[in-house]
């Protein structure tokens, strides 16, 4: 049985401002750095064998906090890169709604039918992220692995773990620095037993602000 601890990166200023990030290499905000420190404390008693991260700095900064505590090196995995929003990248959700009203309406109602202009579809993300996950599982049988990635990637991976198609994308919440845990074994396949846990963030001021954007 292999255990996977799937984490969303800490908060950035763009999360708070509801700006689409995608491949933009924005850094963690001071709040996001503190979130990464708190998730590290939460995982301190868990024996972690490997840590994987998206190549983007906000994920790497989060992963590095955990890796430093456990004396591990972060392995960069491009398959866990954030969703490519194409022309939406760097725009606020209000700007996208105004410029692409029909497409944005579909994104909110039927996200699995949308390919962002110049970007990806959820199926593109599913293909590459599941391939990356299966590679990680093959390389670390019967171990505990941390993966630090992004909102869209995590939601798509969790749909896969639960046997759901991408039409269920909006039925899964992923707050900044949330923790998800699932296991994989030959006999039972995937079993999810922790979803979007943010209890560790309630040590922060502002009542543990949660951001699913």
**CATH number, position 45:** 3.40.50.1240
Query: Does 206 map to a domain?
Result: no
pTM of this prediction?
0.94
Residue 9 falls in the annotated catalytic set = yes
Tens-digit pLDDT profile for residues 134-178: 999 999 999 999 999 999 999 999 999 999 999 999 999 999 999
Residue 212, pLDDT above cutoff 90: no
Query: Would you state the pLDDT for residue 202?
Result: 79
Task: Tally the domains of the chain.
Answer: 1
Which of these, 154, 156, 200, lies nearest to 174 by C-alpha position?
A: 154
Query: Does 158 map to a domain?
Result: yes
Range(s) of the domain holding residue 96: 2-192
Task: Kindly name the residue from 9, 112, 140, 168 that is annotated as catalytic.
Answer: 9
Query: Would you state the pLDDT for residue 209?
Result: 59
Mean pLDDT over all residues of the chain?
95
Query: Does 207 map to a domain?
Result: no
| Percentage of the chain lying above the pLDDT 70 cut | 95
Residue 80, pLDDT above cutoff 50: yes
Query: Does 199 map to a domain?
Result: no
Which of these, 202, 86, 74, 75, lies nearest to 152 by C-alpha position?
A: 86
Residue 200 falls in the annotated catalytic set = no
Q: Backbone phi, then psi, for 50, in 5-degree steps?
A: -160, 150
Task: Kindly name the residue from 112, 150, 168, 200 that is annotated as catalytic.
Answer: 150
Query: Does 128 map to a domain?
Result: yes
Query: Does 212 map to a domain?
Result: no
Residues 138, 195: Cα–Cα separation, whole Å: 23
Identify the bridge partners of residue 28 per DSSP, sorted by sequence position. Answer: 12
Distances (CA, A) of 73 to 19, 64, 67, 99, 157: 31, 8, 6, 42, 23
Query: Does 105 map to a domain?
Result: yes
Query: Does 200 map to a domain?
Result: no
């Amino acid at each position: 049985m292999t255990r996977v601890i799937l984490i969303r990166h800490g908060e950035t200023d763009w999360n708070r401002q509801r700006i689409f990030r995608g491949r933009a290499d924005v850094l963690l905000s001071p709040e996001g750095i503190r979130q990464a420190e708190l998730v590290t404390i939460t995982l301190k008693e868990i024996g972690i064998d490997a840590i994987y991260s998206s190549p983007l700095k906000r994920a790497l900064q989060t992963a590095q906090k955990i890796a430093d505590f456990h004396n591990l090196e972060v392995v960069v995995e491009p398959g866990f890169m954030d969703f490519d929003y194409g022309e939406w990248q760097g725009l606020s959700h209000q700007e996208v709604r105004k410029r692409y009203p029909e497409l944005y309406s579909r994104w909110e109602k039927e996200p699995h039918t949308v390919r962002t202009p110049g970007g990806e579809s959820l199926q593109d993300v599913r293909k590459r992220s599941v391939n990356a996950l299966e590679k990680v599982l093959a390389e670390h049988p019967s171990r505990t692995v941390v993966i630090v990635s992004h909102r869209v990637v995590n939601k798509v991976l969790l749909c896969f773990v639960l046997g759901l198609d991408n039409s269920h994308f909006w039925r899964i919440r992923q707050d900044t620095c949330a923790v998800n845990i699932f296991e994989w074994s030959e006999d039972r396949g995937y079993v999810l037993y922790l979803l979007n846990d943010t209890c560790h963030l309630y040590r922060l001021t502002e009542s543990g602000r949660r951001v699913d954007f």
